[in-house]
């Protein structure tokens, strides 16, 4: 079995993982669960702007990938808690690094956007880049 993976290759299975962890909601859920286990409603309050449907979908995907565990307790109504798995915890450092970078560089990104938006728009087809 070939264990050499190249995410730049379209057939590489690592693209699935990169797609999952690069998803905005996945990143925010991982950040929210890093310090503690949370119930669904607390997680939804913590990750502002996420809909119930999107949070449910995100949690299922993260659980399927082995990054989050779902524990249901036999109460009325059922109590459900979500926590990072050891695999999810191993990713949380990288997610925190990206969060820190975003916070530290948001002003520069806003400045670059303003500069770009102030440029005259090119006309015609895009210029091909030489190989």
> Can you give the residue range of the structural domain that contains 33?
14-118
The confidence score (pLDDT) of residue 98 equals 93
In a domain, 91, yes or no: yes
pLDDT tens digit string along 74-109?
999 889 999 999 999 999 899 999 999 999 999 999
3 pLDDT band, cuts 50/70/90, is low
Residue 1 lies in a domain: no
* pTM summary value: 0.83
125 belongs to a structural domain: no
Tally the domains of the chain: 1
The DSSP call for residue 78 is P
Q: Is residue 130 part of a domain?
A: no
Residue 107 lies in a domain: yes
Tens digit of each residue's pLDDT (9 = 90 or more) over 11-45? 999 998 898 888 999 999 999 999 999 999 999 99
CATH of residue 75: 1.10.10.10
Q: Report the C-alpha gap between 28 and 4 in whole angstroms.
A: 30
Contact yes or no for 62/39 (Cβ under 8 A) = no
| The predicted structure's pLDDT at residue 127 | 76
């Amino acid at each position: 079995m070939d264990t050499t993976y190249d995410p730049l290759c379209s057939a590489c299975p690592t693209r699935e993982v990169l797609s999952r962890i690069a998803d905005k909601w996945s990143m925010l859920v991982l950040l929210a669960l890093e310090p503690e286990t949370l119930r669904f409603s607390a997680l939804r309050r913590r990750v502002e702007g996420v809909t119930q449907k999107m949070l449910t979908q995100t949690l299922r995907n993260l659980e399927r990938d082995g990054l989050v565990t779902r524990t249901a307790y036999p109460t009325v109504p059922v109590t459900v808690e979500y926590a990072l798995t050891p695999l999810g915890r191993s990713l949380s450092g990288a997610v925190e690094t990206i969060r820190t970078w975003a916070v530290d560089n948001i002003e520069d990104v806003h400045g670059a956007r303003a500069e770009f938006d102030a440029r005259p728009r090119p006309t015609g087809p895009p210029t091909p880049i030489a190989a």
